[in-house]
Amino acid sequence: MQSASSSSRDVKPRDRRESPDNAGTRVALVLDAGGARSAYQVGALEVLLPALAESGTRPCVLIGTSAGALLSGVLAATAHLEAGEQVARLRDVLDQATKRHVMRPLWRQVPEVLARYTSETLGLSFFRLRGLFGTQPLARTLAQSIDWEALHRNVEEGVVDVAAVTATSVRTGRVVVFTESASPIPRAAPEYHGRFVATRLQVSHLMASAAIPALFPSVRVDEPAEAAGWYVDGATRRREPLAPALELGADRIMVVGTGALRPPDQDLDLDGVAVDLGDGGATLLGAVMDDPLRHDLRRLAEVNAMTQDAELAPSLRRHREGRGQSAYRTVPYVAVAPEDGEELARAAMEVFRANHGSLLRTLGDPDMQIMHRLLGSDSPLQGELLSYLLFDPDFFDAASEFGRRDAQRWVEDHPDLWRTEGLPEPAS
C-alpha cells in the first residue's frame, strides 16, 4: 500500500501566494458524510480544487464528517502540494479504500459477534457488541495512507489554519468538533448543538467520525482528556453542517455533499408499497445525510439576502448586537452534490449485480450478498443502502465521474465560482 507521504520531497510545494482580490479570504471546505459515496466527493474535488487554485486562493479551513473526515485528513496532510498533485494523492487513497481495507470479512466476525451478543443478553457488560462490522482494516489504512507528520506540520506552519472532524458522543448525543489549529479555537455559539475541542488529530478521531451506528463499532477517543469517551458517526446528530465553518470565521464556504441537493419528487402511490428493513434504513440515512445540508444551504442563502438588503440589514445588526451576538454577514458559497438523488443508488445496484450477483462471485466474497439479503434484497431502496457500503473500485469510478460532472457544471455556471443567493429551481 502506497503511503500518502511517499515521494513527497519530489513534489513541487504549493505556491502560497494569493491574488490581490482574494488576499486574506478565509475559505472553508466542508465535506459531508457518505460512506462509499465519498468517491463522488473525490471526483468533485478533482475539479473544484484546481479551479479554486486558479482563482488565487485555497481552502485553509478543512472540516469533515464521517467519510468526509477521512478525506479532510488526507487534504490536510497534502495541503502543501499543488492542487493537481493534492487531488492525485486523494485519488490514491480512495483507490486503497476497497472493502478489504475498510472492514473485516463477515465470516471471520461471526464467532465474535455471537459471543458479544450472548454477553449482552446475559448482562455481562465487559464484552459488549458495539457494531456488526469490524473496522480494524480501516484504522490500518488511515495510519498508513495519511502522512500524519505532514498534517501536523501544515497546521503548525499555517498552510492549513484549521483541520477539524466532527463526531457524536454516544452517551450525551452532543456533536464534538475535534479541532487542530495553531490559533485559539472559538467557543461555539449557544444555538449550535456542539462544541469545539482543541486536539492533535489522530486515527481515532477520524475513526470516531466515520463509525456508522450499529454497522461500525463505536470508537473510544482518549485525547484530549476533557473529551475522552465513546463516539459514533458525526452525521448522526449534526443539525447544521455549515455551522462549524461559520463559527471558525470562514468568509466563503465550499461544500461537497453526497446526498441529494434537492428533495425527491413526491410520488404518493409509493406510500402504499410494502416496506422492509432496507426501506427503513434508507429512509433514516436520507434524513441524516440529505436534509440537514439542504436546510443549511437554504438558511445561508436567506441570511445572505438579509445582509444585502439595505433597509433590513441595519435593524438586523442591532438585533444581533443587542443579544450579544456577532452580526450576520454575507458568505458566498459553492455547493456541489447530486442533483438526482437516485443516480448513485442506481449505479450501486448495477455494480452489485455485475460484481457480486453471480454464484461464483458470491462464493469468492459472500459478504455483499449476505448484506444484500439481510437488508431486504427486493427493496426498491436497496441501492440507496448499498451505495454507502459498496467499497468497490467500479462503484468508485462511477461515483467519482458523477462528482466531476456536477462540479464542472457548477464551474461553468459560476465563472467566479461563488454564489450568494439560493440555488435555482430545477428545470421542469
Q: What is the Cα–Cα distance from 194 to 240, expressed in whole angstroms?
A: 10
Both ends of the chain: CA-CA distance in Å? 47
- Please spell the DSSP secondary structure of 14-36, one letter per residue: P-----GGGTT--EEEEE---GG
Cell 458566498 locates to 332
Q: What is the Cα–Cα distance from 33 to 238, expressed in whole angstroms?
A: 11
Query: Strands 229-233 and 219-221, how do they pair?
Result: antiparallel
> Are 13 and 366 within 8 A, CB to CB?
no
Locate 281 and state its grid cell: 434504513
Alpha-carbon distance values, 350 to 88, 298, 383, 392, 417 (Å)? 27, 33, 9, 12, 33
Q: What is the Cα–Cα distance from 380 to 401, expressed in whole angstroms?
A: 24
SS3 category, 407: helix
Q: What is the Cα–Cα distance from 160 to 60, expressed in whole angstroms?
A: 5
SS3 category, 402: helix
SS3 category, 59: strand
The number of angstroms, rounded, from the C-alpha of 299 to the middle of its chain's C-alpha atoms is 20
Instruction: Evaluate the CA torsion angle 302, 304, 310, 315 in order and state its sign.
Output: positive
SS3 category, 147: coil
SS3 category, 378: coil
SS3 category, 425: coil
- Strands (E) in 246-367, as ranges, are 252-256, 333-336
Which residues are catalytic, by number? 66, 233
